[in-house]
Amino acid sequence: GENVEQHPSTLSVQEGDSAVIKCTYSDSASNYFPWYKQELGKRPQLIIDIRSNVGEKKDQRIAVTLNKTAKHFSLHITETQPEDSAVYFCAASMAGTALIFGKGTTLSVSS
């Protein structure tokens, strides 16, 4: 089955800096790659997703890139703010299956 590795497990940045979280997946048939943000005590919520026919997607300060050949995808957050502090999860899935999540990255943005 699919396996998703996520790095780093913790990331600390200064407000205004950029943050990058990387994930690798094992199954080349996976075609959907979402990123979820989970604030303390709250449920995970989708922040951005990308499908295998696209190499990059942006939404304001957030972007995701996908390299199908290398089987890895990354989350980029620019101009980080304290409210970006949370746990971020990457995931992967293929048609007809459930999402398989990485172990998460705890992002801390200090002002």
Partner 1 sequence: DGGITQSPKYLFRKEGQNVTLSCEQNLNHDAMYWYRQDPGQGLRLIYYSQIVNDFQKGDIAEGYSVSREKKESFPLTVTSAQKNPTAFYLCASSVQAQAYEQYFGPGTRLTVT
- Which chain residues interact with partner 1 by CB under 8 A? 1, 6, 9, 31-32, 34, 42-46, 49, 51, 89, 91, 93-104
Query: Token pair for residue 111?
Result: 């002002």
Q: Which of 43/111 has CB closer to partner 1?
A: 43
Q: Which of 78/97 has CB closer to partner 1?
A: 97
How many Cα atoms occupy the beta-carbon half-sphere of 55 within 13 Å? Answer: 3
Q: How far is the CB of 88 from partner 1 (least distance, A)?
A: 11
Q: How far is the CB of 99 from partner 1 (least distance, A)?
A: 6
Q: How far is the CB of 51 from partner 1 (least distance, A)?
A: 6
Q: Which of 2/13 has CB closer to partner 1?
A: 2
The answer to whether residues 81 and 98 touch, using CB atoms and an 8 Å cutoff, is no
Query: Token pair for residue 6?
Result: 């996520």
Radius of gyration of the chain (CA): 13
